[in-house]
Amino acid sequence: MNRTRRAILVVALMVGALLPLFLKSYGIYLLTLLCVYLMPAFGLNLIVGYAGQMSIGQGAFYGIGAYIAALLMTKAGIPFWLVLPVAATSCFTIGLALGFPALRVQHHYLAFATLGFNVLVYLVMRNEEQLTGGTFGMSNIPRPSLFGYSFDGALPFFYLTYVSLLALGCVLWWLLRSPWGRAFAALRDNPIRAESTGVNITAYTLLAFAIGAACAGIGGAYLAALVNFIEPGQFGVSVSLTMLLAVIVGGSGRFFGPVLGSAIVILLPEWLRFLQDWYLTLFGFAVIVMMIFLPGGLLSFADRLKTRRRAP
Amino acid sequence: MGELIHLVVSGTATGAIYALAALGFTLLWQASNTVNFAQGEFVMLPAFMMLFFIGTLGTPLWLAFLLTCPVAMLLLGYTFKRVIVDPLIRHGVIPLVIATLGLAIGLKQLVKASVTAQAQPFDSAFPNGLLTMGTITVSYADVGTLLLAGMIVIGLQLFLNRTLTGRAMQAVAQNTEAAKVLGINVQRMVLYTFLINAVLAVVTALLITPTYLAKFDMGESIGLKAFYAAIIGGFNQARGALLGGVLVGVLENLTGAYVSAAYKEGVALLLFMIVIIVRPEGLLGKPEERKV
């Protein structure tokens, strides 16, 4: 990372921290939602952009995290800080169990397995009424508090989410810079060569998938605390699809790709409300156009310009 | 006993419909390595086209079906291949998969925004009523579906195995390079596959929409069943799609009746997980060798 990029990052982080002070409550809510959404999106980028696998089930893990948080906090009264590790480890374990059979076979099998898994999780949320409240969902999910300080207000909860997101981002950044993370790049660029240098493809990909799922679990817990009310529709297949496309549109395999992509699917529709259902229509067709002309995502645009200028 | 037979027959009929969608899916994969995630939307769109012909032009169902076929071949066959598949296939499987995912969202929302978000009723191509033979009762719709699907599958097999064009298409699917060397027009054969897929989608729409109702998101379920049927049977075998489709249809029906109606939709996933653990190449498939 060179000096200009570091400067841009610092400025962006400052803007992110100061912006909510000038916003009304709905604006703060949207920014918090963006921060929450970025947790599963960063995890998905690990799976898609670094491990080179397709997952259409990130919404299911997001939902599992949210429902675990809602159940433990409302029915058992367990504090948020204990719920977080439970949500993360549950999603990690389920990710391992789901990914293991699917990753034994290469190609797009993980995509199909995660897609079906998402359908199944949705069915469980809808049908197990005694546990999940069925289509009525679960409400009155409390916000966390720490040493007697409550994060009930919009601004305190925003800063809690913002700091948590930064912490998660730092962990993932460190992970990708470690030798373990370097193996990923090798995997994605040339799996057969990586395997011949001693990288165990299946184990690495499986771990990446499970870590990505755990990120979604953490995000789900924050989502439950943010919106106070969850129902199955928030975690359907279309949610997973939109998230996958958000990561790809932003630029999968680039650390900050999900930030741009998530802003496009969370913030942009708010300004383009008059488009209603046409927004997603345009988004879907725009993805096709982008795959044809800019397959690396929007963040690859700058690189594209650079190489073009260098070429005679 | 009579109930069991009824469930098996209607399950086989539903499975035959899944098989038709899955067949198109496998044909595309074999001919051009295209994994089409918009396969379900390729079924949804013809359903609305037929409703358009019936509602706006007042045509009977059979004429609407015949009119929809060429439109689908043009849009979902030719245009899909030229505009989306041809520019992307060079970059490998994943970019094309993502483009078809975008296409799926785009088509779904297009119908939702421009036509309707409500489920529309759709007349069955077959008469209502039940056929009783002793203790066994089956509905005319199930029998009709089985006959029509069976005829299409047999016809397609005859075309692929007995005609010169069909055999050339198989040659392209088995070894594109060798086919090119032998003077086969590869691009044209691939185009034929896309056209056949489009027609199969229209037939699937004709058969499934009376039960599913025409709705912008009806493709999600049928698309998922088609993928699973194709993988369970064997991704690289046309016969596999048939077996997979029927297996999913029958087991779903039996699960719905005897185990849990709420989790009927999970049967295909369970079967898929078992198959990829025990026999990853699918029940009838052959293992694919990996190229270095």
* Residue A6 within a domain: no
pLDDT of residue B247: 92
Question: CA of B292: which chain A residue's CA is closest?
Answer: A192
User: How many CB pairs lie under 8 A apart between chains A and B?
Assistant: 125
Contact A291 B98 (CB under 8 A): yes
Amino acid identity for residue B110 in this structure: L
Total number of domains constituting chain A: 1
Q: What angle do CA A151, A224, A85 make, to 5 degrees?
A: 85
Q: pLDDT above 70 covers what percent of chain B?
A: 98
Spell out which residues of chain B touch residue A109, defining contact as CB-CB under 8 Å. Answer: 231, 276, 280
Contact B276 A102 (CB under 8 A): yes
Spell out which residues of chain B touch residue A111, defining contact as CB-CB under 8 Å. Answer: 97
Tell me the residues of chain A between 141 and 170 that have a Cβ less than 8 Å away from chain B: none
Q: Is B194 on the interface with A (CB under 8 A)?
A: no
Q: Is B212 on the interface with A (CB under 8 A)?
A: no
Give the tokens for residue A97.
């169990």
pLDDT of residue B193: 92
Spell out which residues of chain B touch residue A106, defining contact as CB-CB under 8 Å. Answer: 290
Residue-range definition of the domain harbouring residue B53? 2-278
* Residue A32 within a domain: yes
Secondary structure of chain A in the HEC alphabet? Answer: CCHHHHHHHHHHHHHHHHHHHHCCHHHHHHHHHHHHHHHHHHHHHHHHHHCCCCCCCHHHHHHHHHHHHHHHHHHCCCCHHHHHHHHHHHHHHHHHHHHHHHHHCCCCHHHHHHHHHHHHHHHHHHHCHHHHCHHHCECCCCCCEECCEECCCHHHHHHHHHHHHHHHHHHHHHHHHCHHHHHHHHHHHCHHHHHHCCCCHHHHHHHHHHHHHHHHHHHHHHHHHHHCCECHHHHCHHHHHHHHHHHHHHHCCCCCHHHHHHHHHHCHHHHCHHHCCHHHHHHHHHHHHHHHHCCCCHHHHHHHHHHHHHCC
pLDDT of residue B292: 42
- Residues paired with residue A145 on neighbouring β-strands, in sequence order: A150
Contact B102 A238 (CB under 8 A): no
pLDDT of residue B20: 92
Contact A292 B292 (CB under 8 A): no
Report whether A144 contacts A77 (CB < 8 A): no
Contact A115 B227 (CB under 8 A): yes
Q: Where is average pLDDT lowest: B125-134, B210-219, B245-254?
A: B125-134
pLDDT band (50, 70, 90) for residue B102: very high
Q: Nearest CA to CA, how far is A52 from chain B (Å)?
A: 9
| Per-residue model confidence as pLDDT tens digits over B256-282 | 888 887 788 888 888 888 887 788 777
pLDDT of residue B291: 46
Tokens 């939709």 locate to B265
Global confidence as pTM = 0.87
* Residue A295 within a domain: no
Which among A112, A245, A286 has CB closest to B101? Answer: A245
Give the tokens for residue B138.
């089956």
* Residue B175 within a domain: yes
Residue-range definition of the domain harbouring residue A82? 25-235
pLDDT band (50, 70, 90) for residue B220: confident
Cα A127–chain centre separation = 26
Contact B228 A112 (CB under 8 A): yes
Q: Is A105 on the interface with B (CB under 8 A)?
A: yes
Which among B91, B227, B266 has CB closest to A112? Answer: B227
Spell out which residues of chain A touch residue B96, defining contact as CB-CB under 8 Å. Answer: 291
* Residue B285 within a domain: no
Report whether A134 contacts A63 (CB < 8 A): no
Greater pLDDT, A72 or A194 = A72
- Coil vs helix vs strand at A296: coil
Phi, psi at A77, each rounded to 5°: 65, 25
Q: Is A241 on the interface with B (CB under 8 A)?
A: yes
Contact A241 B95 (CB under 8 A): no
* Residue B286 within a domain: no
Tell me the residues of chain B between 61 and 120 that have a Cβ less than 8 Å away from chain A: 84, 87-88, 91, 93-99, 101-110, 112-113, 117
* Residue A68 within a domain: yes
Cα A104–chain centre separation = 24
What is d(CA B79, CA B258) in angstroms, rounded to the nearest whole number?
Answer: 45
Q: Nearest CA to CA, how far is A121 from chain B (Å)?
A: 9
Report whether A47 contacts A53 (CB < 8 A): yes
Give the tokens for residue B198.
């489009």
pLDDT of residue A1: 61
Contact B91 A244 (CB under 8 A): no
pLDDT of residue A223: 93
Total number of domains constituting chain B: 1
* Residue B99 within a domain: yes
Q: What angle do CA B56, B61, B67 make, to 5 degrees?
A: 70
What is d(CA B16, CA B29) in angstroms, rounded to the nearest whole number?
Answer: 20
Q: Where is average pLDDT lowest: A150-159, A191-200, A207-216, B53-62?
A: A191-200
Contact B101 A119 (CB under 8 A): no
DSSP H or E run through B138: strand B136-139
Give the tokens for residue B166.
């069909």
Rounded to 5, what percent of chain A is helix, strand, coil? 80, 0, 20
* Residue A309 within a domain: no
Please state the rounded mean pLDDT for residues A225-245: 89
| Per-residue model confidence as pLDDT tens digits over A18-31 | 888 888 888 888 99
In this prediction the ipTM stands at: 0.84
Q: Where is average pLDDT lowest: A134-138, B50-54, B84-88?
A: A134-138
Q: Is pLDDT above 90 for B235?
A: no
Residue partners of B187: CB distance under 8 A and separation at least 6:
none
Q: Nearest CA to CA, how far is B68 from chain A (Å)?
A: 23
Tell me the residues of chain B between 213 and 242 that have a Cβ less than 8 Å away from chain A: 220, 224, 227-228, 231
CATH number (domain holding residue B49)? 1.10.3470
Report whether A161 contacts A230 (CB < 8 A): no
What is d(CA A214, CA B143) in angstroms, rounded to the nearest whole number?
Answer: 48
What is d(CA A138, CA A115) in angstroms, rounded to the nearest whole number?
Answer: 24
Q: Is B182 on the interface with A (CB under 8 A)?
A: no
* Residue B156 within a domain: yes
Question: CA of A282: which chain B residue's CA is closest?
Answer: B106
Q: Is pLDDT above 50 for B99?
A: yes
| Per-residue model confidence as pLDDT tens digits over B27-72 | 888 888 888 899 999 999 999 999 999 988 888 888 999 999 999 9
Question: CA of A120: which chain B residue's CA is closest?
Answer: B266
Q: Is B262 on the interface with A (CB under 8 A)?
A: yes
Q: pLDDT above 70 covers what percent of chain A?
A: 97
